[in-house]
Structure 1
Amino acid sequence: MHPMVKPALRRGWRDLNTVQFGMTPAHAMTLGPMDTATGSFLELLNGTRALPLLREEGRRMDLQEDHVDALLDRLARAGLLDDTRGGGPAADTLREKTDVLERLRPDLASLSLSTPEPGGALGRLAARRSLRVQVRGAGRVGAVLASVLSGAGIGEVDVRDVGRVEPWDVAPGGLPAESLRERRDTAARAAVRRAAPDRPPRHTRSTRCGTEDPGLSLVILTPRDDVAVHTPDPFAAEPLMASGTPHLYAGVVEGTGVVGPLVLPGETSCAGCLHQDRTDRDPAWPRLVAQWRSGKARRVGACDLALATTVAGLAAAHALAFLDGASPSSAGARWETSLPRLNWRSRPVRPHPACGCGAAERGKGEHSSTDGEPRETMAVQRPTTVRRSKAGAARPTGTWRAHV
């Protein structure tokens, strides 16, 4: 192990004896009171020294070996310590691809903030290279979203759509102007390849007609049709539900951006739950949906470029959080924002007992948003100074607190 205090967290001294790691309430923590020797020892935690050398350096600074070990252990348990050699075999392989790793340095730093175990961030970044995601819809939202996922290190991003690129499909980061009149899916896949840090090996899998690919980690539905964005068709998602494939909805409809719900089949609410809930609240809903779906499709919808890019970015962030093992707030909810005020709102989508997805029976999928709420203050004993017990053993004292 080569310990390193996570460089993504800025460090500052609140007073002569208290150091703060991180600036934002989500991640900031303070350590104190701290003696001068321990404060100086923190400067050695830069990932260039293994544990034996750190113990030796500590002895030169009059720090007991057990004090050094306890400090490192508690830094690690507080989520403030990284390991420049950790992460497992996949991480070792990624380290050898220096040009790829340099492209992904900001993503690695971000992952380190939400990955508590030392070396875990690089392990998760390396794991992205083995994931397969499919994006269905290559308009202003879908093509940009697919490129973002590819650029963030997802190993294989497939894009499905029909037709040819129209002038209004073109968007920065998505389909370029040079792709006009090309097949949409072909042009989007080319954009995905351009965004990728490298090209990990593709995994060829065959599927029977009418079935879903079991190797997909996530399917993201980004329809260009505004009706499909506003009211996702439960029938279209039946193969995904039957195969247990997680899927996420995103798009823009009439100047409103939508992200969610993220559907974990059998666990969280789905498009059928959304339809049943709306029918309960508005008896005219099925009649309206039937008219919208049978009406003439608009050739060009209201899809503001900046709003579409925002939706693509937020949907990509939710997708990456899920793929990295977290549970984003879009599981069981739809995030919506409308022009011109652009206030994001979370609308719960609860499991409906009349829906056959089974989520209501399991009692899962309830959504609660804590965005913007203060975190509870955490107090955990951490080593800061050393005092002698009667038996002569070194005893660490001091307190860590989350700074909010």
Structure 2
Amino acid sequence: MHPTVKPALRRGWRDLNTVQFGMTPAHALTLGPVDTATGSFLDLMDGTRGLPLLREEGRRMDLPDGHVDRLVQRLARAGVLDDARGGGARAAALRESGQVMDRLRPELAALSLLTSEPADAIEGLAARRGLRVQVRGAGRVGTALAALLSAAGVAEVEVRDGGLVEAADVAPGGQPAEAIGERRDESARRAVRRAAPGPAPRRSTASPAEQAGGFSLVVIAPRDEVSVHAPSPTAAEPLIASGTPHLYAGVVEGTGVVGPLVLPGETGCAGCLHHTRTDLDPAWPRLVAQWHSGRRRAAGACDVTMATAVAGLAAAHALMFLDGRTPSSAGARWEIAAPALRWRSRPLLPHGACPCGASRKGKREHTPEDREPHATMAVQHSTEFRRTTDTARLAGTWRAHV
């Protein structure tokens, strides 16, 4: 192990004996009491030294026997320590990839804030290089979303759509103006390749299921407003049958929508949404039929800022799922509309009349995983960490002992 304090966490001294790691309430932790020698020793934990060399440095600084190991254990258990050489073979290959690694360093830093074990972040980032995602829809939302996933390190992002690029499809980070008149899917795939941090690794790094042609996730981002507001249960049936997780995203009449993330057989799906809305409003099926049969509008109310916001949030939810966590869009739709511009969550429960079978599984809660240290950790010596909920005030904060 080559310990390093996570670079994403800025360090500062609250007083002569207390160190704070991180600035924001979501991730800030304090360590104390810390003597001057230990504070200086923290600067040596930069990933360039293994534990044997760190122990030698500790002896030169007259630190007590075992002090270095105890400090490393405490930092690791508090989630502020990383391993500069851990993560296995795929992580090592990623570190050696030069430009690819340089492009992905911000992603690595962000992932490190969500992981507790040293080297989990680089291992997770390397795992993205073996994933396959399909985005259905190459309009303002879909193309930008696909490019974001590619830029975040997902090795293979396939875009599916028909027709030609229109002027209304053009948006920053998505379809470029010079692509007007070209095939939507081809232009979107070029956008994905441009956004990629480098060439995808060989498919041998993928799991057997992925090598067989399956997708880790399908994102449905239709250009049609009606399909955003009332996603088709029939269109999703093959995904439900194959057990493929899928996420909906789009803009309808100036309202941004992200979700639900459908985990087949576990969370509510498009069919559950249709049945729930029909229960609340018997006219719902009639309205949907009329909306689908109505005259196509020249351009929907999908302004570029709303499209970009939806693409960004949907990509974040997709990445959280791909990284092994359950985002808040599982079993819910997030919506935002002008002028308030507040994201609101609308729960979507499994419906008993839907053939997806999720209702038979019983109610399951899907919430984002919490990286907070366990409150039951035993106290060791007199050093303790505090998780700050207000960086300007420590009184009354949640506390985890290590």
TM-score w.r.t. the length of structure 2 is: 0.91
Instruction: Write the distance in 1 (CA, Å) between the matches of 2:319 and 2:373.
Output: 26
- After superposing the two structures, state which structure 1 stretch, 24-33 or 132-141, moved more: 24-33
Match of 1:225 in 2: 224
Q: Residue 401 of structure 1: which of 379, 386, 401 is its match?
A: 386
Match of 2:111 in 1: 111
Match of 1:141 in 2: 141
2:384 aligned counterpart, secondary structure: strand
Instruction: Write the distance in 1 (CA, Å) between the matches of 2:9 and 2:177.
Output: 40
Distance 1:332 1:365, change over 3 A: farther
Question: Which amino acid letter does the alignment assign opposite residue 38 of structure 1?
Answer: T
Match of 1:355 in 2: 354
Q: How much has 1:342 moved relative to structure 2?
A: 0.6
Instruction: Write the distance in 2 (CA, Å) between the matches of 1:214 and 1:264.
Output: 19
Structure 1 residues 187-202: aligned runs within 5 Å: 187-201=187-201
Question: RMSD of aligned C-alpha atoms?
Answer: 2.0
Instruction: Write the distance in 2 (CA, Å) between the matches of 1:74 and 1:376.
Output: 11
Q: How much has 1:283 moved relative to structure 2?
A: 1.8
Q: Percent identity?
A: 69
Q: Unmatched 5+ residue regions in structure 2?
A: 205-211, 390-402
Whether the aligned pair in 1 keeps the contact of 2:18 and 2:30 (CA below 8 Å) is yes
Whether the aligned pair in 2 keeps the contact of 1:33 and 1:398 (CA below 8 Å) is yes
Instruction: Write the distance in 2 (CA, Å) between the matches of 1:214 and 1:364.
Output: 32
1:104 aligned counterpart, secondary structure: helix
Whether the aligned pair in 2 keeps the contact of 1:346 and 1:369 (CA below 8 Å) is no
Q: Unmatched 5+ residue regions in structure 1?
A: 205-212, 384-395
TM-score w.r.t. the length of structure 1 is: 0.90
Instruction: Write the distance in 1 (CA, Å) between the matches of 2:174 and 2:47.
Output: 38
Q: How much has 1:65 moved relative to structure 2?
A: 3.6
Runs of 4+ in structure 1 over 3 Å off: 201-204, 364-371, 375-383
Whether the aligned pair in 1 keeps the contact of 2:247 and 2:318 (CA below 8 Å) is yes
Query: Residues 302-323 of structure 1: CA distance to partner in whole angstroms, max 9, x if unpaired?
Result: 1010000000000000000100
Query: Residues 233-270 of structure 1: CA distance to partner in whole angstroms, max 9, x if unpaired?
Result: 11100000000000000000000000000001011111
Query: Residues 26-66 of structure 1: CA distance to partner in whole angstroms, max 9, x if unpaired?
Result: 11111111222222211111111100000111112222342
Structure 1 residues 255-274: aligned runs within 5 Å: 255-274=254-273
Whether the aligned pair in 1 keeps the contact of 2:130 and 2:203 (CA below 8 Å) is no
Match of 2:125 in 1: 125
Whether the aligned pair in 2 keeps the contact of 1:249 and 1:261 (CA below 8 Å) is yes
Instruction: Write the distance in 2 (CA, Å) between the matches of 1:344 and 1:400.
Output: 33
Distance 1:61 1:190, change over 3 A: same
Query: Residues 214-238 of structure 1: CA distance to partner in whole angstroms, max 9, x if unpaired?
Result: 5211000000000000011111000
Question: Which amino acid letter does the alignment assign opposite residue 152 of structure 2?
Answer: A
- After superposing the two structures, state which structure 1 stretch, 4-13 or 282-291, moved more: 282-291
Match of 2:307 in 1: 308
Distance 1:23 1:381, change over 3 A: farther
Whether the aligned pair in 2 keeps the contact of 1:378 and 1:402 (CA below 8 Å) is no
Question: Which amino acid letter does the alignment assign opposite residue 114 of structure 1?
Answer: L
Instruction: Write the distance in 1 (CA, Å) between the matches of 2:120 and 2:15.
Output: 32
Whether the aligned pair in 1 keeps the contact of 2:91 and 2:126 (CA below 8 Å) is yes
Match of 1:285 in 2: 284
Match of 2:243 in 1: 244
